[in-house]
Structure 1
Amino acid sequence: MATCLSRILGPQLHTHPNILLMSNLPTVTTTRGYKKPYLKAMRDRIRLNKRTLPQIIEDNLDLPRTVPRPFEMGKEDVLNIHPKYAVRVNHNESNEHYKKTPVYIFNQLCVLEEGMNQALWLTNSKLMDQGKLPEKLQKLGVEAEKEDMTDQVYHAIKKSRHYDTTEKVIRIPRYSRNLVQSLLTVCNTVSDKYPRIVQRTGTDKHYIAASWQRGNDPIQVRGHAGTMISSAHPIAPIAGKEEIEATRTHQLPTFHPISPTIDLLQYNVYKLNHNFPGYFEGYPYQHAHTLYVFDDHLWTRKRIEKGLHAKGIMFAFGNALARARLKYGIDNDIDLETPIVTQSVATDGVNLSFVVVQLNTLRMTSNDGIKNMVWLDADNQLYNDQFPQDIKIVKSNKRRKTTKSYIKKMITKRDPEVGCQDLDMDVFRKFLSLHVHGAEH
């Protein structure tokens, strides 16, 4: 009987303990999975397939490795990596920049729930002209427009929404950036009338850092805001001395019992008076002109006022403040003789919001005294957006989590004549006026 069982079950399978007691079969113990030689061969094969091009060249030419692989390193080996990527900051008391008082940081990921009013309080600014651009900029856009610009803007929209890629649906992060680049190309066609436009350059993911004090709270704006157009010449101040003096009596909005810094990030590791305009010494285009802030998240489209307007104000103010700190010093809290003007455009690819900031003072601690100025022209729809949605939930079946089988992708054929209806050239004139601003002299 034992012989029959061994032939049927095989030597690698466990038999019933009662049968083993009645027989002379040896007990065989095995482990699940592959044996060690097979596992080693599989790991080596996977490593060969995952080699990068420099590693393949080093192996074929028998060259010394520039960066050793982790499984080849010993305990005493040190990776030859750039310090920017090798150093990891410890956010504890062992760090030399650790402070008990936290700093409030606004970056590209922050959303101010109180929107524009919260940004005005943080920057000690007054809203001018109640939702309109300065009269000077309104006239400038009409004067700079050319005859054939309507067709150029129409083709720029179609290019960013239809002809940019062969994908069935173009995502917001792609067409919003491409639309701005195409509109800037159209604006550059007036350089024959305004030669200073040529003396500019663009920087993507422009980094800035600006620090100030509001009451007892240190505040910083820093991060990669968006695409920056910088100029070799600064923008002239918009408001005169009389208008600046009139801001002394302005009362800033309050949010009691909510703290204005409630939506900002808190860190204990930071540098005091950390100010960097984004340009090193000797750079020919050191004056921030216009910052283009993009909406890369679908969830901010329904609250564009909170997500984009405040972001445009905060980063435009940070550009002006960092430039002022570089010019007048870190510790000089004074009223500026020559105000600094910066601009920003916040867009989701369809709606555009225009922001102009004039920095009048570096006295940011108290609410008394001269205020800074902000002009905001918000929610300007450039064209009628009639493009298909990305996804649509057909039914949820009363479940908390909707499964993929209930999500239907709404992908249809893109028609260039459907998505670019009702083009509003007045919105483009505002876009053009901000681009030409500072080059009309």
Structure 2
Amino acid sequence: MLLGAVKSFTLELYGAHDAAFTRGEVVAGQVVLELRRDIRVYSMKVQGRGVAEAHWLENRTMNSVHNDYTSKKTYFKRRQHLIRDNGEVTVVPAGRHEYPFSFQLPEETLVTSFEGKYGSIRYWVKVKLHRPWATVRKIKKEFTVIEPIDINTPTLLATQAGTKDKMARAWYRNFGQVSVTAKIDRKGYTPGEVIPVFAEFDNSTSRSIAPKAFITQTQTFIARGAMKQKHSIVATLCGDNVSAKCRETWHGRAIKIPPVGPSILQCRIIKVEYMLKVCVDVPGTSNLCLELPLVIGTIPLHPFGSRTSSVSSQYSVNLEWMRLAIPEQPEPPPDYCSVVTEEEAEQCNNTAAQQPADDLSGIMERPLLAFVQEFRFRPPPVYCEIDPNPQLCNIRPRCMTC
């Protein structure tokens, strides 16, 4: 049996199995070509692409004609020639050959890889080997891209709260109103975190109600002006029944976020959104639901983040400056004679002698500057290391009844 000339044709990506890529990073790898004998090659090229695609079929006519809804969005496209087609055939000798390649992802915002029922967001590398009088050999390998979402932003750290009420239907022997008030600390969370739910359920009806909380995921696909959605519940929290004419309060009831994918909000044709729903099952009417939006991010919360660390570093620098500026032992103030000369002191004394000390009749007629000048060269108090006004430790406490 005559074996083919190509023994193996493989594609390897460096680091593709360890971690995901993000915008601006370099995707590198190599193409390994093992030959049993010499072959003639027109060209061999590698392509890198990232495409978001939404697709579904709908039957809208009586004749069972399906309407095809398809939309695509390309986020990047790269091409590199490993064996260039120069119009001549290239002879590749038998043996093992390695062809390295690399390309950089765009610096612009990319979209996280996603697989859904009506669409997907995929990134891949494809290699094509063109030979004369032979079929084109192709290899394709996908890699994951995650667009970072930092929840340490003012928008995602804002408190989410709301209130909603509803009247029960009288013909089901249920009278009164049900109201729900709920609050969560912030809008952004990461998978694995616990959301403390603060809620109050006021049951003014004549029957008991059952409060619950859900984390829902909504996948939205848009194509040709039409929209397709898929809803799913990813986490559930059940509370105790609230009796008639009673009130129940949740003081931070915990609901944990499972390992789900991050929110996708930047794609034009595919969106993934999350919501916390605090609901009440009211007998005889539809459920009362209060919705609080959530954003599932990739960068977790760091309470002592960059801003806090910068402030603390600046504070430490200020402390170092204070340590260098303030000596251990304070020096005594300079002598009065070294600051004020004898002529200035004599001139000040003569000015004070011209005005009698007990004559204050013309004090308002004198200019204010002249009045201040009299106290300009007064000598300071004598410096002494002993406190002239020591604190009295043995002070008898005053009786409050006296």
Using structure 2 for the length normalisation, give the TM-score: 0.21
Q: Which has the higher helix share?
A: 1
Using structure 1 for the length normalisation, give the TM-score: 0.20
Higher CA-based Rg: 2
Q: Which has the higher strand share?
A: 2
Which protein, 1 or 2, shows the higher relative CO under an 8 Å CA cutoff with sep ≥ 6? 1
